[in-house]
Structure 1
Amino acid sequence: HAPLFSPALKAVAPVRKSLGVRNFFNVLGPLVNPVQPEYQMLGVYNLAMSRLYSYIYQEENKKFCIVHSMDGYDEISLTSQFKVVSNKGEQLFVPEELGFKRIGQEELSGGNTPVEAARIFRNVLHAQATEAQMNVVLANAAFGIQTVEQDKPIEECLEIARDSLYGKKALKVLEKFIEINQ
């Protein structure tokens, strides 16, 4: 999404796409965010990328959280162990440690079309998605919360995430965002 927000990356988007493989521009995207957020949560597709981003974010004094599922997902997928690298160091988790069941990759489909993806997204916000979908969102949200609230234990961050999803607070935020932007 970087080309939508950064004029410099918009200019090189055709070159990046024509290469057809992951490249320097894919790495650069999160680093050239014109907003320069104080907090950054990022998913990476391999551990080498987590080390690279960790070093850069430490040099910039950002509060960050980088996640990688050990089976290759660039998010907390709950399909395997996952690594979290943050200002506080590195930690390897298994889904069961956080109270989640390990799930199969087939349970993670985000939809084959934008309409399908939007339906799944709305189901999550209405707390009507599958257990696997809800749990993946909760796990990722909890670590996002902990990126900002670094002194809170992950269990407390999970409770905040649960309250936000099941209490429909996240849905209300989306509805307000849509209302403001119409």
Structure 2
Amino acid sequence: MWEALDLLAHRRDLPEAEARRAMTSVMRGEASPLQVAGLAMGMAGKGVTAAELTAFVRTVREFSEPFPGPSEVLDTCGTGGDGHGTFNISSTAAVVAAACGVPVAKHGSRSVSSRCGSADVLEALGVNVDLPPRAAARCLEEAGITFLSATVFHPAFKHAMGPIRELRVRTVFNLLGPLCNPARAEHQIIGVPDEDAFELLADALELLGAAHVMVFCPQDGLDELSTSAPARVAETREGRTRRYVLDPAALGLAAAAPGSLTGGTPEQNADLTRRVLAGERGPRRDIVLLNTAAALRMAGRHEDWGRAMARAAEAIDDGTARDVLDRWVRVSRSR
């Protein structure tokens, strides 16, 4: 670890072997909290390269608990930390995607710095978010959707959580979650709130040989596809990436009024999710439809954005999405 910290102090990039040694030290609990914080802030000060991020991801994966289920699943895990305090859009979109017939293995954790992480809102909805690997795989098989808790599947990460919580700033550790789904999800949508993270993740996904992954960065700083601003998009398919700009206005979506997407506590966000799944119209529904459409594209269900949004709307309006959530709650608690 000291070698890595010395390189970072001189703003030099870490060779792959050194990056892997440093992350191994963190995962084994050999690095002190001060060293973990030094690694995080040193990387932030220098700037993370795609090669460094890829080395970290491969190391973290080696320490994760295996998921005894298929990799032909979708994940909607984002980097978080956009500071907008919206309700849990990607978690709601995950339920709607499952209602459209896409197997979903949602990877996430409880909140680190915001009021409500994905695990927090799902727990408030009644989902058991702490299932061990075999039970999580059974939940996927029976409900069509499951939650893979970072706490359960990445136990070695506990050595980094203390310093990360105390830093309360975005670091390279925030970028690892979306790239370390224990199911090795072949289909993903990943939202990032800033241009640097967008380019970094897009390049890293190419190096990792991603199957079908979409990374997006809206101009208004959300870490979800926004109905209020165009987004830069990078679609990686079989290791090859295509970049373009997606304008929600061109899809007929009205811009959300300021504050109309704001969430709150886990209980408040759970209520907002239930209202969307019950068919309530408005900006929350619109943004869920847009993000579900991205998920359906990456899962190979629809290429056309308009048709994908129409399919998502159908799954909500005919009650399928609400039924999927109810079944998820029931199955996850019937261990």
> Do Structure 1 and Structure 2 share a fold, with TM-score over 0.5?
yes
Retained in 1: the 8 A contact 2:279–2:316? yes
Gaps of 5+ in 1: none
Q: Which residue of the partner structure matches residue 77 of structure 1?
A: 226
Given the superposition, is the C-alpha separation of residues 115 and 65 from structure 1 closer, same or farther in structure 2, using an over 3 Å criterion?
Answer: same
What SS does structure 2 have at the residue aligned with 1:72? coil
Given the superposition, is the C-alpha separation of residues 151 and 124 from structure 1 closer, same or farther in structure 2, using an over 3 Å criterion?
Answer: closer
Instruction: Give the superposition deviation at 1:135.
Output: 0.1
Match of 1:140 among 291, 297, 304: 291
Query: Is the aligned partner of 1:44 residue 2:192?
Result: yes
- CA distance in structure 2 between the aligned counterparts of 1:105 and 1:68, rounded to whole angstroms: 19
Deviations 1:24-52 (A, max 9, x none): 11112222222211111111011221111
Query: Is the aligned partner of 1:55 residue 2:55?
Result: no
Amino acid at match of 2:272: I
Retained in 2: the 8 A contact 1:44–1:73? yes
Q: Which residue of the partner structure matches residue 249 of structure 2?
A: 96
Instruction: Give the superposition deviation at 1:117.
Output: 0.6
Q: Which residue of the partner structure matches residue 153 of structure 2?
A: 5
What SS does structure 1 have at the residue aligned with 2:260? helix
Instruction: Give the superposition deviation at 1:60.
Output: 2.4
- CA distance in structure 2 between the aligned counterparts of 1:6 and 1:161, rounded to whole angstroms: 32
Retained in 2: the 8 A contact 1:4–1:10? no
Deviations 1:60-80 (A, max 9, x none): 222101122101111112121
What SS does structure 1 have at the residue aligned with 2:279? coil
What SS does structure 2 have at the residue aligned with 1:108? coil
Retained in 1: the 8 A contact 2:296–2:302? no
Over 3 Å off, 4+ runs: 2-5
Retained in 2: the 8 A contact 1:44–1:68? yes
1:100-111 correspondence runs (5 A)? 100-110=253-263
Match of 2:269 among 117, 139, 147: 117
What SS does structure 2 have at the residue aligned with 1:163? helix
Instruction: Give the superposition deviation at 1:151.
Output: 6.2
Larger RCO (CA under 8 A, 6+ residues apart): 2
Q: Which residue of the partner structure matches residue 161 of structure 1?
A: 312
Instruction: Give the superposition deviation at 1:82.
Output: 1.6
Q: Which residue of the partner structure matches residue 171 of structure 1?
A: 322
Q: Percent identity?
A: 26
Retained in 2: the 8 A contact 1:125–1:171? yes
More helix by share: 1
Given the superposition, is the C-alpha separation of residues 90 and 32 from structure 1 closer, same or farther in structure 2, using an over 3 Å criterion?
Answer: same
Q: Which has the larger radius of gyration?
A: 2
What SS does structure 2 have at the residue aligned with 1:42? strand
- CA distance in structure 2 between the aligned counterparts of 1:10 and 1:41, rounded to whole angstroms: 26
What SS does structure 2 have at the residue aligned with 1:138? helix
- CA distance in structure 1 between the aligned counterparts of 2:287 and 2:183, rounded to whole angstroms: 27
Over aligned residue pairs, what C-alpha RMSD do you find? 1.7
Match of 1:19 among 150, 167, 176: 167
Retained in 2: the 8 A contact 1:3–1:13? no
Given the superposition, is the C-alpha separation of residues 167 and 61 from structure 1 closer, same or farther in structure 2, using an over 3 Å criterion?
Answer: farther
Instruction: Give the superposition deviation at 1:105.
Output: 2.6
Instruction: Give the superposition deviation at 1:93.
Output: 2.1
Q: Count residues with an aligned counterpart.
A: 180
Deviations 1:90-147 (A, max 9, x none): 221222111111122311112x21111110010011112x410000000000011101
